């Protein structure tokens, strides 16, 4: 991966809560650029939902750079 491609990507943490037999609640979905903020939100959701998922995702900033 070239340096220019690396500068066009950013890592975010996606956190979402869900309920057994109902699935994920997309109203709870939030994206964070800071792991500690994502972790704090995840802990908050644990008291409100049956389960919580956190995944790391890449955000491609091509449209912002080429515009």
What's CA 8's distance to the chain center, in Å?
18
Cβ contact 45:52 at 8 Å: yes
CA dist 54 → 1, 17, 44, 63 (Å): 26, 9, 13, 26
Q: What is the pLDDT along the chain (67 residues), one digit of tens a residue?
A: 554 555 567 899 999 999 999 999 999 999 999 999 999 999 999 999 999 999 999 988 776 555 5
State the Cα–Cα distance between residues 9 and 29, nearest whole angstrom.
Answer: 21
pLDDT of 62:
73
Model confidence, pTM:
0.76
Structure tokens at 47: 């008291």
β-pair partners for 51: 18
């Amino acid at each position: 991966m070239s340096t220019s491609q690396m500068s066009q990507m950013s890592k975010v943490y996606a956190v979402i809560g869900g309920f057994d037999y109902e699935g994920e609640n997309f109203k709870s979905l939030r994206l964070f650029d800071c792991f500690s903020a994502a972790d704090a939100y995840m802990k908050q959701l644990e008291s409100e939902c049956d389960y919580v998922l956190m995944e790391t995702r890449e955000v491609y900033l091509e449209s912002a750079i080429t515009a």
